[in-house]
């Protein structure tokens, strides 16, 4: 099953495949015999993942898409200056097979037209034509990540009919641009154009250029980064022949087309695209290939002038709620359930400028783990900017996960995704939007606990006699203590205890939920823990006669039973055994809290 990126590419495929404009190349007889409506799209990412739809495994000949790669090999063998003495890098404004040289320099205008490409082939090092061709084929194979072979039928067809290219070869020889036998040089060129590739091969070759010369699958360093930069520059201005200006404006990626029906496009530092469709326009470019690249560029916002400020993974950290639980105090049964099932809830922290490739990385990783997930939190607090396509991709992922029973939440305090923190109902199947990660993690845990913890859950409310702090008291002691307790209620958002209050009392929570927190000098509220029915606060400051170190606020309507400092003092005098029992119980509870805190710190320390 594909993810949302597959859906984007499939949509483009469906839109474009009805276009039957143009016709196949007929000046090479073997190319005229191909099925005209074959169509495939492949997109290879910087880590070698390939999205593909349609006829991506159908073999066809590389033709002029070979030109930037042979040019790169010539640069490797002869150096930039050595190649520049023979081939310029200026757009020609002429058809790719024009028999002409620049009138001022008497050199081919660029290596993307036939005259420049034949010259580049002559500059490849080798003892003779056979060795030159093998070095060319080896380079293409390393870029594709598999051995590529010659299509003998296409080569024979080109060799029989390639008189115009031979005329270009003799012109180059007459001007001293090439010094070898022009028939041998042109024959090497015919052979390089007749190498058989698939759309998937071309996508990986494009991704190799996008990766500064490193094949994303094999990790083979194929080309020098400085030379790749020069190749991509020439592809940008000259790769689409006399349609190059329109291409750069509308699509915005270095590219190269071939009369075999292929189009290769490169988004530097991010991905490679390949399209196969044999019908050509008047410029010799694949009609569907150009349209598909235009659609992909627009939909996925791939124009190379719209780039992230840093090419890095969008996923800053990933962890399960078992590894990094919330600060909510849990019952023993709940802790055991979260230890057993916490890996089914995961938090993904994103960062940087989130454009298509960053969102693709996140979507692919989360989607790959969907079989093991029941709830997901996507934390975008550290995302600086988010593009429209990235926003749609994340939202589509959330909807897709929800449709398959996986709840999701966003941590989005700045509203980058257009949701207010209260915009979704607590029961919305798509999930929630939170302003802080701890609240989102607590929600994530609650979803898992509702599914996997049938007994021993923390209740919404309890009677006083059920409070764990009083569990060790005898019936007589409990009766004595209740005479000293006061019952109080607080509304949601109300501050119950303020930092700095001295001896606030011992508060036993009977219903509702409270948060302990501190406020920094900058005004940021940092949550310490969340407490619910059956828990307590204010104990240490009251027992030690000191100031409380944090605020306590009501997250919901709250009911508490309070043992005030005055009542505790009287209890100490009149019933010291009750005070001792309370202290022992508090010590046991505190030890359990420390154990949970250490587990949280250890989990976050692995992030």
Confidence of residue 425 (pLDDT cuts 50, 70, 90): very low
Active site residue 189: yes
Active site residue 67: yes
How confident is the model at residue 606, as a pLDDT?
Answer: 46
Q: Which bin fits 352, alpha (ψ -120 to 50), beta or left (φ > 0)?
A: left
Q: Do domains 4-300 and 464-580 have the same CATH topology?
A: no
Tokens for 592, please give them: 């359990």
Classify 4-300 by CATH class: alpha beta
pLDDT (tens digit per residue) in 81-131: 999 999 999 886 666 667 778 888 999 999 999 999 999 999 999 999 999
CATH 2.60.120.10 assigned to domain 464-580? The reply is: yes
Task: Check whether 388 has a pLDDT greater than 80.
Answer: yes
Answer whether 325's CB lies under 8 Å from 607's CB: no
pLDDT (tens digit per residue) in 326-344: 888 888 888 899 999 999 9
CA distance 444 to 449: 9
* Residue 58, φ and ψ in degrees, nearest 5: -75, 125
Task: Check whether 354 has a pLDDT greater than 80.
Answer: yes
CA distance 50 to 200: 8
Choosing from 13, 51, 189, 319, the catalytic residue is 189
Confidence of residue 69 (pLDDT cuts 50, 70, 90): very high
Choosing from 53, 67, 83, 383, the catalytic residue is 67
Active site residue 591: no
pLDDT (tens digit per residue) in 119-164: 999 999 999 999 999 999 999 999 999 999 999 999 999 999 999 9
CATH 3.30.70.270 assigned to domain 315-452? The reply is: no
> Across residues 526-551, what is the average pLDDT?
90
How confident is the model at residue 310, as a pLDDT?
Answer: 47
pLDDT (tens digit per residue) in 260-306: 999 999 999 889 999 999 999 988 899 999 999 999 998 888 888 76
CA distance 306 to 356: 10
How confident is the model at residue 225, as a pLDDT?
Answer: 93
**Best-predicted range by mean pLDDT among 238-252, 264-278, 510-524?**
264-278
Task: Check whether 513 has a pLDDT greater than 60.
Answer: yes
Closest by Cα among 411, 418, 465, 420 to 438 = 411
Active site residue 275: no
Choosing from 4, 13, 64, 337, the catalytic residue is 64
- What is the residue extent of each domain of the chain? 4-300, 315-452, 464-580
CA distance 263 to 323: 46
How confident is the model at residue 180, as a pLDDT?
Answer: 93
Mean pLDDT across the chain: 89
> Across residues 301-322, what is the average pLDDT?
75
Confidence of residue 438 (pLDDT cuts 50, 70, 90): confident
Choosing from 259, 377, 378, 552, the catalytic residue is 259
> Across residues 389-415, what is the average pLDDT?
91
* Residue 440, φ and ψ in degrees, nearest 5: -65, -40
Return the SS3 of 428. Answer: coil
pLDDT greater at residue 591 or residue 68: 68
Q: What is the pTM of this model?
A: 0.72
Choosing from 241, 276, 319, 348, the catalytic residue is 241
Active site residue 27: no
Confidence of residue 312 (pLDDT cuts 50, 70, 90): low
CA distance 529 to 551: 11
Q: What is the dihedral of CA 89, 93, 95, 99, to 10 degrees?
A: -70
CA distance 115 to 171: 9
pLDDT (tens digit per residue) in 173-226: 999 999 999 999 999 999 999 999 999 999 999 999 999 999 999 999 999 999
């Amino acid at each position: 099953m594909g993810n949302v990126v597959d859906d984007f590419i499939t949509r483009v495929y469906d839109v474009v495949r009805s276009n039957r404009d143009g016709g196949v190349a007929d000046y090479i007889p073997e190319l005229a015999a191909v099925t005209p409506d074959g169509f495939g799209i492949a997109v290879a990412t910087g880590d070698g993942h390939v999205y593909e739809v349609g006829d991506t495994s159908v073999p066809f000949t590389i033709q002029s898409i070979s030109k930037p790669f042979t040019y790169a090999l010539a640069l490797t063998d002869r150096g930039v200056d050595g190649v520049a003495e023979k081939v310029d890098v200026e757009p020609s404004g002429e058809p790719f097979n024009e028999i002409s040289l620049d009138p001022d320099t008497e050199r081919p205008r660029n290596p993307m037209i036939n005259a420049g490409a034949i010259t580049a082939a002559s500059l490849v090092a080798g003892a003779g034509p056979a060795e030159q061709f093998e070095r060319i084929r080896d380079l293409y194979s390393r870029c594709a990540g598999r051995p590529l072979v010659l299509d003998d039928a296409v080569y024979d067809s080109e060799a029989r009919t390639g008189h115009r290219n031979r005329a270009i070869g003799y012109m180059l020889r007459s001007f001293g641009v090439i010094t070898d036998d022009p028939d041998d040089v042109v024959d090497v060129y015919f052979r390089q154009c007749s190498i058989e590739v698939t759309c998937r091969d071309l996508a990986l070759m494009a991704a190799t250029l996008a990766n500064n010369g490193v094949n994303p699958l094999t990790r083979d360093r194929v080309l020098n980064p400085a030379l790749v930069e020069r190749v991509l520059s020439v592809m940008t201005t000259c790769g689409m022949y006399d349609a190059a200006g329109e291409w750069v404006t509308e699509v915005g990626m270095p590219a190269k087309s071939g009369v075999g029906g292929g189009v290769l496009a490169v988004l530097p530092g991010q991905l490679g695209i390949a399209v196969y469709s044999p019908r050509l326009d008047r410029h010799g470019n694949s009609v569907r290939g150009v349209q598909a690249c235009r659609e992909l560029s627009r939909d996925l916002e791939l124009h190379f002038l719209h780039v992230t400020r840093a090419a890095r993974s969008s996923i800053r950290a990933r962890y399960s709620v078992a590894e990094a639980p919330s600060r909510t105090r849990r019952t023993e049964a709940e802790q055991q359930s979260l230890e057993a099932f916490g890996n089914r809830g995961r938090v993904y922290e994103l960062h940087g400028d989130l454009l298509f490739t960053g969102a693709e990385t996140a979507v692919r990783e989360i989607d790959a783990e969907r079989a093991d997930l029941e709830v997901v939190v996507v934390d975008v607090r550290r995302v600086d900017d988010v593009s429209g396509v990235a926003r749609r991709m994340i939202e589509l992922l959330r909807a897709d996960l929800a449709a398959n029973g996986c709840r999701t939440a966003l941590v989005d305090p700045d509203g980058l995704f257009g949701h207010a923190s209260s915009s979704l109902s607590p029961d919305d199947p798509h999930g929630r939007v939170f302003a802080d990660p701890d609240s989102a993690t607590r929600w994530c845990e609650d979803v898992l606990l509702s599914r996997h913890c049938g007994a021993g859950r923390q209740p919404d409310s309890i009677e006083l006699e059920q409070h764990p702090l009083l569990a060790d008291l005898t019936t007589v002691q409990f009766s004595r203590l209740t005479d000293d307790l006061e019952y109080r209620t607080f509304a949601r958002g109300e501050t119950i205890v303020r930092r700095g209050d001295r001896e606030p009392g011992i508060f036993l929570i009977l219903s509702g939920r409270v948060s302990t927190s501190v406020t920094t000098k900058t005004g940021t509220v940092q949550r310490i823990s969340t407490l619910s029915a059956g828990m307590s606060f204010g104990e240490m400051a009251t027992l030690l006669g000191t100031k409380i170190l944090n605020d306590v606020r009501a997250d919901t309507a709250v009911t508490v039973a309070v043992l005030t400092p005055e009542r505790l003092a009287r209890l100490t005098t009149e019933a010291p055994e009750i005070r001792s029992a309370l202290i022992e119980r508090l010590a046991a509870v505190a030890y359990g809290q420390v154990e949970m805190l250490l587990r949280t710190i250890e989990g976050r320390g692995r992030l």
